[in-house]
Amino acid sequence: MLEVLGLRGAGNRAFRHTGTFDGAFLTVTYIVDIVEHESRLSRGLGAVTDEFLLAGLLSLPVQDMAAIDTRFSRALRSETASDMMTMMRDPDGGFWGCRRLGVPVEVVELETESAKWRSGRSVAHQWVGYGPRLVHLEEEIEPFELAEASHYGIGLVARDGVRILEPAPYCPHRLTTARWRLAELVYAQFREFDA
């Protein structure tokens, strides 16, 4: 079920839904970039989950042309990538490109439910580089668990639904291919609900 949370700046909409992402059952709160979404709809593009293709696209600038790294040449010269970038061939036989694909969603929070702190902490650790993490615990929260969650920046929600501890702010320094792929997986599920 898709829950609409309202609007947030420049027409971008916030949503929340539960799904399976790379084998983990999570509730993800995210903001859809409406400009990117509408651009993709107009070009007939959906989610791009090929991590190698995303790495190649991430190696390209957005507002200028740059030489395409030979590692990504085959993936970026494919028909699949043609609507995601602009490419030119130079007289020396090399290829230059400019990315026209942006990140479709911003992950605001990742939540998991767990009967035990140990398993909830394990899932939260898997998602440390992707956004603020929150664990809903079915068991009583012990002082050591609270201290450990605080140390790792994991938010805690008690079984009665009260947030005992807020997750640490998430301040990434750069976009990674893995984070972009998660955004694409979330976007794929958004598109299923939005259809």
Q: Is 76 exposed, middle or buried (0-12, 13-18, 19+ CB in 10 A)?
A: buried
**Predicted pLDDT of residue 79:** 87
**Predicted pLDDT of residue 8:** 53
Q: Where are the domains of the chain?
A: 2-33+106-165, 49-100
Query: Within a 10 A sphere around the Cβ of 121, how many other Cβ atoms?
Result: 20
**Predicted pLDDT of residue 189:** 87
Torsion of CA 128, 130, 135, 141, to 10 degrees: 30
Q: Which tens digits make up the pLDDT trace of 166-190?
A: 999 999 889 999 999 999 999 998 9
Tell me how far apart the alpha carbons of residues 183 and 101 are, in angstroms, rounded to a whole number. Answer: 13
**Predicted pLDDT of residue 80:** 86
- For the chain, strand residue ranges (E) read 2-8, 12-21, 24-32, 66-67, 85-89, 95-99, 105-114, 133-137, 154-157, 163-165
Strands of 95-99's sheet, edge to edge? Answer: 66-67, 95-99, 85-89
**Predicted pLDDT of residue 94:** 85
Tokens of 48: 């791009």
**Predicted pLDDT of residue 11:** 58
Tokens of 49: 């989950």
Q: Kindly give the interhelix angle for 143-152 and 117-126, rounded to the nearest 10 degrees.
A: 0
> pTM of the predicted model, to two decimals?
0.86
Task: List C-alpha distances in Å: 174 to 28, 85, 102, 120.
Answer: 21, 20, 14, 27
Residues of the chain whose pLDDT is less than 50?
A: none
- HSE-CB for 148 with a 13 A CA cutoff: 13
